[in-house]
Amino acid sequence: MWKSPLDRVVQKVFFTAFCRAESVPFRTGSFANHYAEEVSARTSHPSIPAEALARQARLGAALHAMETVGPSLEPACLQVLRSGIATGALPDQEIWIQTLQREDLVEEAAELLRASRRGAEDLALIQSLGSRLVPLAAKAQQRRTALWQLDTRRTRVRLEYAKENSVVGFDDGDLHALFIQAFRLEGLPLALDLGKRPRPLLSMGCPLPAGVGGQAEYMDAALKQEPAEDPAQVMARLNRRLPDGLRIHAWNVLPGFASEIGDLALRSLWRWEVPADQRAAAEAKTAAFLAAESWPWDRGTAKADASLDLRSLITSMHWESDALCFATRMGAFQAINPLKMLGALLGLDPASLTGLVRQSVELKPDARMGQAERFEPKLKNMYEDAVLLGGGSNIVLVDDDDDEPIRLG
């Protein structure tokens, strides 16, 4: 809480700068399976297609296989909680909770508890721990929110990775769970966002549906602190954990105010290895498409933008040997399924198309990178503004659980 004659002034100045710079560094997506526990705890509803259930089973198997690669490097207190959930016994709860607070892992423990409640061995233990952890997690989140701009340890990283072979059948939600599992097992804690229910700050960039591969995909992650090892070693550790076909090949540290990939993406470059029995029909369709001024695509929905012109979305197309190469326009709100787009062009069922790969995503320069002075925290200016408005009083940020306040100025 804020305790000072300048309470309202400081809050306004602080959170105005906070929102301008990075209220949330990047979107985490709307995936439900943020943790492996949520994948294994799901129940099968009769309305869920068999294909989706099969993919869920494959994901569960992949997540389990990652645990067998080597010992988990997750913080010991969280491993103790996982063991307690599985066995229904958690000895020395007081000492364990004190350890969580000391290591600043209360929010992670509370979310793990919530995600595991369906498959827990002892529901009474879950409820008992929840009654203790939920209020502690709420207080920890309040403190983390207030200190967000002061946290110099948090590190934002943009990763480039390939999605090939056995993982092509996974969608972005599945990849999200796989990457979070890899970071967890390698002891690389991800920072949490500022949502009501905090989630790991990991964004998959430009979506790829199940059945489509990618050679140079992007993912943004925020770690609680920069790893001690160099990027090559960290990538090697993560790649050792990840399933075959999912490989990180670039690690670039970014300032927290950098733009999201979705805001920078201009075009996607695709390559489809055309089966021999479909080559003649595909050549005829693409020739007609290139000769046409427009190519309406009615997506059969009630939305206002249900009808699209594929000629405006597909900016170029040509053949390279037995492969059809084309480029599609992208933007912050353009995430059209490429299988459906290609199927509409060729008159084929999207489910019958295999072998489509995104070779790269063209990005425009990030204008924010040259305007750091607009986005970096200016604590000195915040203090000066508060002094001018409040008559010179010091700004004191106080947390009731701390012995010493944090004083700005």
For residues 128-133, give the mean pLDDT: 90
Domain-embedded: residue 31 = no
Last residue of a domain, one of 262, 286, 321: 262
pTM over 0.85: no
Owning domain of residue 384:
1-22+366-409
| pLDDT (tens digit per residue) in 44-57 | 567 788 888 888 99
pLDDT digits (tens, 9 = 90+) for 147-166: 988 888 999 999 999 999 99
Do 278 and 352 reside in the same domain of the chain? yes
Instruction: Confirm whether 167 is domain-assigned.
Output: yes
Tell me if 28 is assigned to some domain. no
Structural domain includes residue 186: yes
**pLDDT tens digit sequence for 196-233:** 889 999 998 888 999 999 999 999 999 999 999 999 99
**Residue 55 placed within a domain:** yes
Report the pLDDT value the prediction gives residue 103, as an integer from 0 to 100: 95
The tokens describing 186, both together, are 């390698």
How far is residue 379's CA from residue 327's CA, in Å, rounded to a whole number? 45
DSSP string, 287-349: HHHHH-S--EEE---SSTT-EEEHHHHEEEEEEETTEEEEEEE-BTTB---HHHHHHHHHT--
Q: Flag whether 30 is in a domain.
A: no
Across residues 371-383, what is the average pLDDT? Answer: 63
Other Cβ atoms less than 10 A from the Cβ of 386: the count is: 23
Number of domains observed in the structure of the chain: 4
Last residue of a domain, one of 262, 296, 329: 262
Give the helix ranges, DSSP H, for 89-230.
93-102, 106-115, 123-146, 172-185
The CATH number that applies at residue 179 is: 3.30.70.580
- Based on the fold, state whether residues 41 and 136 are members of the same structural domain: yes
pLDDT band with cut points at 50, 70 and 90 for residue 68: very high
Mean per-residue pLDDT, 264-290: 95
Identify whether 29 is part of a domain. no
Domain identity same for 145 and 41? yes
Q: Helix, strand, or coil here: 154? A: coil
Task: Tell me whether residue 298 is in a domain.
Answer: yes
Residue 10's alpha-carbon distances to 14, 146, 386, in angstroms, are 6, 11, 6
Residues 254 and 328 reside in one and the same domain: no
pLDDT at 301 over 50: yes
